[in-house]
Amino acid sequence: MMQSYSKNEAIDRINKLAKTGKAFLFIINYKQDCSFVEQIDNIDPSELLYNLNGFSNCTSVPIPLQSPITWRPTPISLVQYKTSFDIVRRNILGGNSFLTNLTCITPVPTNLGLEDIFYHSQALYKLWLKNRFVVFSPEIFIRIENGKICSYPMKGTMDATLPSALEVLMEDEKEAAEHATIVDLIRNDLSMVADCVAVTRYRYVDTLHTNHGPILQTSSEISGILPKDYVSCLGDILFKLLPAGSITGAPKHKTMEIIEQAENYDRGFYTGITGYYNGKKLDSAVMIRFIEEQDGKMFFKSGGGITCKSDLESEYNEMKQKVYVPIY
């Protein structure tokens, strides 16, 4: 079993490993009070599998799925969702938050195991922790190379099969406002650890493929220059930026209090981060698109950003739309 670390222990371990130039992988939960930080050479593939943008310990070829996928999400009702939505909306209208990322947990009866989902999913970042969870995330958290740090917040989704989907997404006032808020938040976050912070790409669109069809997703790129001795304080830099702005909201700390009040479950490792450092560069992902196993049952965690322009049914449908596996 991999050893877990507290926040201070994880910061110290990341700093020490980075200074020695040894390659390591890290997994940090949403509240940052539980982390795994392990040297690559010490990771047992029977306990943990990863493929992080091509950096992988997968050597075996996946066995083809023997039968059609059974996938029957049973999301909370609109009435239940409204209770949480109303808490968030009251706080936004009261001036306590501009944007709050509200998430839910959805039971999903399926014939897929966590390892099946890991091997057969198509995603930029994939991670499987035995008997715990699988993540297949499209969202970059930060990348660091040659003293440059970049972040890529992802906010704004739409069903790509809808008529004029791209045009509708880009002209949607709520989506544009949500994206602008997160970009501003991440720019401020990066300014705590870097100089010369700038938005280098704004609201570009990617197409994500799912078992229910394609989804459009908007992202931006924000970059800055780290101090020359950044490697020796890599752990401090990572934790100073957590939790990710895209899965909390703005202002971050007050919004986290609202999330605690509105959500009726523990996020755990969902919306935390995972990544690696190979002695030269760091690459990491926000752990969205997340399935957890509890007592042999599968639970999908998903959500979206709520603003003053948010519509109850639209947000409820977006939360449900994200309950998918990228197997096609």
Selected catalytic residue, list 126, 155, 301, 320 = 155
Q: What is the pLDDT along the chain (328 residues), one digit of tens a residue?
A: 789 999 999 999 999 999 999 999 999 999 999 999 999 999 999 999 999 999 999 987 778 888 899 999 999 999 999 999 999 999 999 999 999 999 999 999 999 999 999 999 999 999 999 999 999 998 999 999 999 999 998 877 778 888 888 998 889 888 888 888 889 999 999 999 999 999 999 999 888 777 778 888 888 999 999 999 999 999 999 999 999 998 999 999 999 999 999 998 999 999 999 999 999 999 999 999 999 999 999 999 999 999 998 999 999 999 998 998 988 6
Q: Residue 61 has what pLDDT?
A: 78
Selected catalytic residue, list 7, 38, 126, 139 = 139
Rounded Cα distance between 118 and 51, Å, is 9
The model's pLDDT over 71-114, given as tens digits with 9 standing for 90+, comes to 999 999 999 999 999 999 999 999 999 999 999 999 999 999 99
Q: Residue 60 has what pLDDT?
A: 79
Report all structural domains of the chain as residue ranges with CATH numbers, in order of start: 4-61+75-321 (3.60.120.10)
User: Does residue 155 have an active-site annotation?
Assistant: yes
Q: Residue 156 has what pLDDT?
A: 77
Q: Residue 328 has what pLDDT?
A: 66
